[in-house]
Amino acid sequence: MMVPAEVTLSWQALLSNGFDWSQLNSLSTLLSYAFLHADAEHITMNLIFIWVFGSLVLRELGALWFFIAFILTAITGGMGQVLLEPNSMIPVLGASGALMGLEGIYLGMALRWRLPDPDVWPISSPISQERLMLFAALGILMDVSGIIGNDAGIAFGAHIGGFIGGLFLGTTLIPRPKHAK
């Protein structure tokens, strides 16, 4: 799990003293937090969202780019939480930053290219690109309102950091999707 205050201290020490192996443990939690979850409900909810957006990204980009995207957006999600609450001692865990990153990637690809209307089992008919984009936008709006409302227990910074990282990847670095027009 990641503790933002520990990451902040390690980063500050790294900048002022140069590289020290002792800082690596804390900084590595910027990725490892995404593979730990609080309980069965937490992991189930994350898996449902990864199933929807992850399957779309996987179908369009393939396994290698999916893996790269998941790892990078998990890291940008961790960085987002540290930036939002640099002194927090509350542990952060869960793949929400990476799953929001997958949403951001899909949105970024949809902004760059015309993608076919996605279909995700068990939804029986294709979902328009516009509806998925609206769904992603509503998720970000909920995260921003959670920050403003100071809703405790949810790593909104990780959500937003992952989404921004994914949107950046989707609009700049991601190769042309397989089914793009």
Residue 51: per-residue pLDDT: 87
Residue 121, pLDDT > 80, answer: no
Residue 84: per-residue pLDDT: 93
For residue 110, give every residue at least 6 positions away whose Cβ sits within 8 Å of its Cβ, in sequence order, or none. 129, 132, 133, 170
Residue 108: per-residue pLDDT: 92
Higher pLDDT, 170 or 14: 170
Residue 71: per-residue pLDDT: 98
Q: 21-30, 67-76, 154-163: which has the minimum mean pLDDT? A: 21-30
Max mean pLDDT among 127-131, 132-136, 166-170 falls in 166-170
User: Model confidence over 146-160: pLDDT tens digits?
Assistant: 888 776 778 999 999
Residue 125: per-residue pLDDT: 66
Contact 160, 143 (CB under 8 A): yes
Instruction: Find the mean pLDDT for residues 38-45.
Output: 92
Q: How far apart are the two ends of the chain, measured CA to CA in Å? A: 41
Contact 143, 133 (CB under 8 A): no
CB under 8 A, 24+ apart: contacts of 113-119: 113/176, 113/177, 113/180, 113/181, 114/180, 114/181, 115/60, 115/177, 115/179, 115/180, 115/181, 116/179, 116/181, 118/56, 118/59
Instruction: Find the mean pLDDT for residues 76-93.
Output: 95
Residue 92: per-residue pLDDT: 95
User: Model confidence over 89-99: pLDDT tens digits?
Assistant: 999 999 999 99
pTM, full prediction: 0.89
* Mean per-residue pLDDT over the chain, rounded: 89
Which domains, from first to last, does the chain contain?
39-173 (1.20.1540.10)
